[in-house]
Structures are given as C-alpha cells and as structure tokens.
C-alpha cells in the first residue's frame, strides 16, 4: 500500500498498526474515548519526567503551530515581555505569532548554523529587566541544529524567567526532563517523534504557572487555560477533537514503550543519522552543520555542485521509494533528509544506495 517512505520530519512514516487504529469511529463524549485522552495525557507527563502534582498535559487540536500560538496567546499577558531566541524558520515563526498577537517581545537571533550565545543572552537579560518569558526552539528543524537547552535552562533559572520550549521535532526522540530543566511549557505534536499522524499538538505545562493564565487569551479557540480546565474534568476536549488521530497516537505511545521507550528510540534515530551522514559524505555530500551541532533528527546537505538539480534528484529517489525534503535556507542551496519515524538502518542503507547510483548516473 505505502508506495514510498517519508524522510520528512512530520508527517512521517508510521506503522500499519498505528494507521489501523483509525479504522474505527469513536465518540468524543463517550467514556471509552475520554479514557484514551486521559491515558495520553498521563503518558506524556511520564515521558517528560514530570508528575501530575507539578505538571499537566493539555492537548490542542491542529498542527504544532496551533499549540505554539495557544501558548504564546495564553501564557504571556499584555503586561509581560518575551525574549524570542531564533536561528531558523521555526523560531522566526514564533516571532510572527508574537506580532499577530501584539505581544511585547524582543528577538535575539543568530545565524542558522550557530548556537545562541550564553553571554549575549545574559547581557540582554541584565539590561532588559522587564523580560518575563524566554522562548527557544530545541531542535530547529529548518537546519537540524540541536539548540543548547541546558544553557537556556540555566539562564532562565538564574534570572527567574518563564521558559517555553518548542520541542516539536525532538520530544519523544530524545530524553528531555522537563522539571529538571525548569521548563514551564514544552510544546510538541502528534506527528513527530512519537510517530503518530498529524492532527493535534500538546503542551506539557507547569501547573503553578498555568493556573495564573485565566483570561490572558484574546482568542477562544487558542485559550490554553480554558482547554485545560475542560480537559482536566474528565478528559473531554473542548470542541470536536480529531478522534481518529487521537486513537492512532495512543497506539503510537504503546509502540514507543514496546520499542524500549525514549532511550531505544533515540539510539535508533542516532544510528540512522550517523549512517546517513557517513555514507552521504563518502558519496560527496557535505552536511551544512558541523557534527557537534547536529541533531539525530534531520540533516541539511549542501548541493554537491552547481549542476545539481534537486527536482531531478528528488524524482529519481521518490520513484525508488523515498521522499526527501527541500531545503529551507535562503542563502544556500540545500536539501534535507529526516531520519525519524518508522525508519531503520536498512532503509537508510537502501536510500544511500539509491543516492549513490543517482550520482553515478548523473556523472556519466
């Protein structure tokens, strides 16, 4: 049935058993369904290393950006000011969200292949004492850079700021201990490392902070507080929820456990990524990022030469069973390969063989 595998970081390749969960129709207010929602909320807390006395999980209809917008809209009041750290398109999208909402914000941006600088952020926090919140993307899917979450955690603790982390493309694929890192709101979605299908996103929220957010949101649909209040009663969503997607996600969580939890998934992703980079290097593709900044999620490669035609390459690879991802850099010609989802070493080896044969063919 599946004529090609997705090497894109969400939607990604899912198992047949996850997809099969969507063959049943479920009722949003029925107990059977509410139990699924509650199980998901509890399981996500567990994956975050959090307990329900300190943290809660709020599920939100829509794609990942909807949850980012819900957090920005509901947890940052008109009296607050947020520091947005950016080194890629997803960070820049958060800036856009802040502008739409009309939040007071400051953007600290560095180039896409650089880490944000601790001393520079420290001096911003010293100067701009009215900053109340800090937002950063963990794995910037634009390039695949893994941003230093420990550094930002340390600063937000030191300066007592609320910390919001967009861990969309890393949560579930890498260990992130939310309480230890002092994260107040962690955002991720169904169709990334948990390996569900697209349709909702989730926020792991520190209760002590969330309970102060009543009335902040200027939007009913995006009101994270209101969504939490309703869901907290017995697992019923406000408004229609993506029932099929939720059921599939519940299955995906079971399969994460069966695989051996986050450590096992991390090591699969890491070895996929290592093989991919080693082999493509031999074939003549240079990675955009240096090894130490590279996440085990997605890799950006530079075009090997000026004659390289991505469309042609993409079609060649797609015909042979794999879908790649175009680049998202404005100043350099790149493409991306994601290695998350139901993807194993054998897939990566096969992909590299295809790419190798493509390079042989075009060279002639």
- Binding residues (CB under 6 A) for ligand PLP: these are 9-10, 63-65, 90, 137, 141, 166, 168-169, 189
CB 336, min distance to ligand PLP, A: 11
Nearer to ligand PLP, 197 or 352 (CB): 197
CB 3, min distance to ligand PLP, A: 23
Nearer to ligand PLP, 21 or 140 (CB): 140
Of 9, 18, 14, 12, residue with least CA distance to 246: 18
Rg (the chain; Cα; Å): 21
Nearer to ligand PLP, 235 or 338 (CB): 338
Cβ 147 vs Cβ 275: under 8 Å: no
Tell me the torsion sign for CA atoms 101, 164, 234, 37: positive
CB 236, min distance to ligand PLP, A: 24
Nearer to ligand PLP, 298 or 352 (CB): 298
313, 315, 317, 321: CA torsion to nearest 10: 170
Report which residue's Cβ sits closest to ligand PLP.
Answer: 64
CB 23, min distance to ligand PLP, A: 24
CB 8, min distance to ligand PLP, A: 10
Of 353, 348, 296, residue with least CA distance to 146: 296
Cβ 167 vs Cβ 138: under 8 Å: yes
Q: How far apart, in whole angstroms, are the C-alpha atoms of residue 20 and residue 110? A: 43
Q: Across the strands, what pairs with 325?
A: 336
Listing DSSP states for 121-138 in one string gives HHHHHHH-TT--EEEEES
Report, in this order, helix, strand and coil percent for the chain, each rounded to 5.
45, 20, 40
Q: How far apart, in whole angstroms, are the C-alpha atoms of residue 48 and residue 37? A: 17
CB 176, min distance to ligand PLP, A: 13
236 — phi, psi (to 5°)?
A: -85, 135
CB 142, min distance to ligand PLP, A: 8
CB 88, min distance to ligand PLP, A: 8
Q: How far apart, in whole angstroms, are the C-alpha atoms of residue 360 and residue 351? A: 14
Nearer to ligand PLP, 34 or 133 (CB): 133
Nearer to ligand PLP, 125 or 183 (CB): 183
Nearer to ligand PLP, 55 or 90 (CB): 90
Nearer to ligand PLP, 10 or 242 (CB): 10
């Amino acid at each position: 049935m599946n004529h090609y595998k997705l090497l894109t970081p969400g939607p990604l390749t899912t198992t047949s058993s996850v997809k099969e969960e969507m063959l049943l129709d479920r009722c949003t207010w029925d107990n059977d369904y509410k139990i699924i929602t509650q199980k998901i909320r509890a399981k996500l807390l567990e994956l975050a290393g959090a307990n329900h006395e300190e943290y809660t999980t709020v599920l939100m209809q829509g794609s990942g950006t909807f949850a980012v917008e819900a957090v920005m809209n509901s947890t940052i009041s008109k009296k607050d000011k947020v520091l947005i750290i950016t080194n890629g398109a997803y960070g820049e999208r958060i800036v856009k969200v802040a502008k739409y909402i009309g939040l007071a914000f400051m953007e600290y941006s560095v180039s896409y292949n650089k880490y944000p600088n601790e001393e520079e952020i420290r001096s911003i926090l010293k100067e701009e004492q009215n900053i109340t919140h800090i937002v950063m993307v963990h794995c910037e899917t634009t390039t695949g850079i893994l941003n230093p979450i420990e550094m930002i955690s340390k600063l937000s603790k030191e300066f007592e700021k609320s910390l919001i982390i967009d861990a969309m493309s890393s949560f579930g694929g890498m260990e992130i201990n939310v309480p230890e890192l002092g994260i107040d709101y962690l955002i991720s979605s169904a169709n990334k490392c948990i390996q569900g299908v697209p349709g909702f996103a989730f926020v792991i929220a520190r209760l002590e902070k969330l309970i102060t957010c009543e009335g902040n949101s200027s939007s009913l649909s995006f009101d994270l507080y209101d969504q939490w209040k309703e869901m907290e009663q017995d697992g019923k969503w406000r408004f229609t929820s993506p029932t099929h997607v939720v059921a599939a996600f519940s299955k995906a969580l079971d399969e994460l456990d069966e695989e051996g939890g986050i450590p096992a998934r991390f090591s699969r992703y890491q070895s996929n990524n290592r093989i991919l980079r080693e082999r493509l290097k031999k074939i003549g593709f240079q990675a955009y990022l240096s090894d130490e900044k590279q996440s085990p999620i997605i890799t950006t490669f530079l075009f090997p030469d000026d004659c390289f035609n991505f469309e042609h390459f993409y079609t060649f690879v797609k015909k042979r069973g794999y879908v790649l991802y175009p680049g998202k850099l404005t100043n350099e010609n790149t493409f991306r390969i994601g290695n998350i989802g139901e993807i194993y070493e054998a897939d990566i080896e096969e992909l590299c063989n295809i790419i190798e044969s493509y390079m042989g063919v075009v060279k002639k």
